[in-house]
Structure 1
Amino acid sequence: MTEDTSTLTGQAPSPVRVAGPTEEIVLPGHTPPPVRDWPPPDLDGTEFDPVLAGLMREGPLTRIRLPFGAGWAWLATRYEDVRLITNDPRFSRTEVTRRQVTRLAPHFAPRPGSLAWADQPEHNRLRKPVAGAFTVSAMKRLRPRAQEILDGLVDAVVADGPPADLVERVLEPFPLTVVSEVMGVPPADRARVHGWTRQIISTSGGAEAAGRAKTGLYDWIAAMVRDRAHSTGEDVYSLLGAAVTRGEISEEEAVGLAGPLQIGGEAVTHNCGQMLFLLLTHPDLMERMRDRPPERGPVLDELLRHIPHRSTVGLARIALEDVEVAGHRIAAGEPVYVSYLAANRDPDVFPEPDRIDPDRAACPHLAFGNGPHYCTGAVLARLLTELLVDTVLDRLPRLRLAIPAEDVRWRHKTMIRGPLTLPVTW
């Protein structure tokens, strides 16, 4: 980590001005934390980001500078502060779209209609047309079809015999296929759509490659929404096409809504890859999962809490007024990030947070976010995760890695962490 020494001004008996993205008013007697550079690390395995761990040790509210954008931003790492910021209307996502802030993504082009950048009440208006596709009851109806898709993939693995790469044979195609069916992507277009979504979450190729992928995906989505303007189907593109026809949302908003939902399958692939890697490298945990199937749910929650599913942080917010958090004043106009990964390792909430404890009395993890921006597809992601883990463990007896754990290859230059391959035998 590097330090911006211009921010180390010492304690002051009265408010002082500190250089930053805006002029920051420092509370009397408080020194602002130094600005730390946070390059996205290419980490192998499920190691917790050492830079983030260092920031957590420095204090509950620190300041960071990411590889792209401009200036610095506050970073909240404590569980209660993360919950406060993500559920407080004084911190705006929409305001981020009007300025450059320090960020991980090389390409920043927020689209109208994107739930990710909407504040209330716009957020609820935009979410309404697609909400029915992701309810608990909708997932119950989807479950048999999802299991059928998964069984077909695992049948082929069993027929071919060991060894097999679980990422290539199961973890990638299963979420991709199910999400494509929920969204309404024609089979002939699925490989092309997957290519775009994979590039969008990658940090390799720079702004140009990310921009091309976003243009390709969003142009394709616009065509899908137009084609289904009068559809009565229950897939997401039909729901969006009908909502545009009724005048509830614009076509531009429909496209902004669909893009992040289409990318959602990527997270399931990589999260499940990390979870299975942990099971394969923790024999006692694997034995417990095999021997006590009815108790797998809490273990999955503990793994969701534990896995470092992303690189650095997600999307910023802007303070609309001065807000005091953790002894510091976040001034109006200043950007703020939260780390759900750090919140999930808060020792005040999760004793011995670095240990995987399947018997935690409660696991109120924030793996799917918090507040209005809680993941729209969380119920779907949980369904796919449960089916994947259950089916792989039940259908592949004595499952184990086919290579040493240290030889497993991991994804680099990506916003979502996970194994590139997961060779197993059984």
Structure 2
Amino acid sequence: MAEDTTTLAGPPDERPLPPVRDWPDVGTNATDFDPVLAELMREGPLTRIRLPHGEEDWAWLATRYEDVKMITNDARFSRAEASVRQFTRLAPHFAPRPGALAWADQPDHNRLRRAASTAYTVSAVRRLRPRAQEMLDELVDAMVQDGPPADLVERVLEPFPISVVCEVMGVPADERRKVHDWTREIISTAGGAEASERAKKGLFGWIAQAVRDRGDSGGQDVLSLLGAAVKSGELRHEEAVSVAGPLQIGGEALTNNSGQMFFLLLTRPDLLERVREDPASRPAVVEELLRYIPHRTAVGLPRIALEDVEIGGVRVGKGDPVYVSYLAANRDPSVFPDPDLIDVDRDAGAHMAFGNGPHYCTGAVFSRMQIELLLDTLLERLPGLRLAVPPGEVPFRQRTMIRGPQALPIAW
């Protein structure tokens, strides 16, 4: 990418467009911030990007906190309109399912979300917490019994979120490995369009049958709630299936996010000592790490401008695709001073790690609960917790949309 920037002067309609920047796959190391995104932030706050896939030549990218906040709350930017466009994108395969929550605008978005929302309320998560602790304890018991060294990802950080999300969704124990294999393939960019499509067919086909089977079950798991919503006419069957899929896939994000958190703790002795000796500081540490961690590769899903909109002195035209970067917003120095430093004494509560606006993550409370349990349990049960290899030997996932360690060898 070129290092020069474009200076805009005059009324928005008369200003030259900023150059289109290709977003190359430069590879990222461990928890390092994406250097391409860092450069785009310096050129911004609004730039034009071209990603590896898709038919449209470019899209806008907003990186400033206030712009990201505005766009994600503004009905003039439509997710539904983007679902029928082959915009420039990271994923090799793009075929949104009809009725998908991620692509819905209001009021459909609230209607779709409401059907499963009772499984993700604060009270529902509170009721789930003892069962989640039991599942975590079983995993840690087995790891402690086998003794160090151990791969924390394999033994705890992968099976725990999978078990919990499957508990919430209502996936039987003997089906969980199959479901996990499908979700892993869906978020990977390595297998190509064919592998991704096979995994989607497998997962969504399985969900479709489960929703049909549970319309009369009266259960409080997500699949039963959605089955009941279909039977009552609140949702169409295809809508229920489209809502359930991303909720199931969400467990993958927690595996990777918590893996990054523990990598950061285990490579920063002062930070680890702080959370070990001062349990009261842990909630603030979690929020700061959520702000700091580079959760994903490149950008997520775009929106389409439904009319001309001026952002930061730049005119975004009607029909233009627009991406926002939550990662960039979380590093905006006007909101988070010295944003590239982990400062557990700052107020990081305004971070956008779970998104913003109507598409704010459904499972945010659910995810925080699991992170709290992991931190408290592992620090209590594993005295002297440390990496079993030098930090540079910890392998991180490559060619995947969600970033995180592939393995995290530990000793205690």
User: What is the TM-score of this pair, normalised by structure 1?
Assistant: 0.94
Give the one of 192, 202, 215 matched to 1:216. 202
Give the one of 33, 55, 68 matched to 2:40. 55
Write the deviation string for residues 152-202 of structure 1: whole angstroms up to 9, x where unpaired: 000111111110000000000000000001000011111111011000000
Question: Residue in 2 aligned with 1:205?
Answer: 191
Question: Residue in 1 aligned with 2:150?
Answer: 164
Question: Residue in 2 aligned with 1:17?
Answer: none
The answer to whether the 8 A contact 1:340-1:367 is kept is yes
Question: Residue in 2 aligned with 1:310?
Answer: 296
Give the one of 380, 397, 406 matched to 2:383. 397
Amino acid at match of 2:333: P
Give the deviation of 1:363 after TM superposition.
Answer: 3.1
Task: Count residues in correspondence.
Answer: 411
Write the deviation string for residues 64-111 of structure 1: whole angstroms up to 9, x where unpaired: 011111220000000000000000000000001121100111111111
Give the deviation of 1:211 after TM superposition.
Answer: 0.8
Amino acid at match of 2:386: R
The answer to whether the 8 A contact 1:41-1:311 is kept is no
Q: Separation in 2 of the partners of 1:148 and 1:317?
A: 41
1:116-195 to 2 correspondences below 5 Å: 116-195=102-181
Question: Residue in 2 aligned with 1:332?
Answer: 318
Amino acid at match of 2:217: S
Moved more, 41-50 or 363-372: 41-50
The answer to whether the 8 A contact 2:267-2:391 is kept is yes
The alignment status of 1:91 with 2:45, answered yes or no, reads: no
The answer to whether the 8 A contact 2:83-2:103 is kept is yes
Question: Residue in 2 aligned with 1:344?
Answer: 330
Question: Residue in 1 aligned with 2:28?
Answer: 43
Give the deviation of 1:42 after TM superposition.
Answer: 2.7
Could you list the runs of 5+ residues in structure 2 that have no partner in the other structure?
Answer: none
Give the one of 27, 32, 35 matched to 2:17. 32
The answer to whether the 8 A contact 1:40-1:104 is kept is no
Give the deviation of 1:13 after TM superposition.
Answer: 7.3
Q: Separation in 1 of the partners of 2:210 and 2:17?
A: 49
Give the deviation of 1:362 after TM superposition.
Answer: 4.5
Give the one of 291, 314, 321 matched to 2:307. 321
Change (3 A) 1:275 1:11: closer
Alignment partner of 1:355: what SS? coil
Question: Residue in 1 aligned with 2:230?
Answer: 244
Q: Separation in 1 of the partners of 2:276 and 2:29?
A: 26
Amino acid at match of 1:68: H
Give the deviation of 1:306 after TM superposition.
Answer: 0.2
The alignment status of 1:65 with 2:50, answered yes or no, reads: yes
Q: Separation in 2 of the partners of 1:13 and 1:420?
A: 49
1:247-258 to 2 correspondences below 5 Å: 247-258=233-244
Could you list the runs of 5+ residues in structure 1 that have no partner in the other structure?
Answer: 15-25
Moved more, 228-237 or 39-48: 39-48
Question: Residue in 2 aligned with 1:366?
Answer: 352
1:106-121 to 2 correspondences below 5 Å: 106-121=92-107
Q: Separation in 2 of the partners of 1:115 and 1:41?
A: 31
The answer to whether the 8 A contact 1:44-1:409 is kept is no
Give the deviation of 1:370 after TM superposition.
Answer: 0.2
Q: Separation in 2 of the partners of 1:207 and 1:41?
A: 21
The answer to whether the 8 A contact 1:193-1:217 is kept is yes
- The 4+ residue runs of structure 1 with deviation greater than 3 A are 10-14
Write the deviation string for residues 389-415 of structure 1: whole angstroms up to 9, x where unpaired: 111111101100000000000100100
Q: Separation in 1 of the partners of 2:173 and 2:26?
A: 35
The answer to whether the 8 A contact 2:230-2:240 is kept is yes
Q: Separation in 1 of the partners of 2:330 and 2:339?
A: 8
1:244-283 to 2 correspondences below 5 Å: 244-283=230-269
The answer to whether the 8 A contact 2:20-2:49 is kept is yes
Amino acid at match of 2:31: T
Change (3 A) 1:12 1:141: closer
Q: Separation in 2 of the partners of 1:346 and 1:76?
A: 12
Question: Residue in 2 aligned with 1:420?
Answer: 406
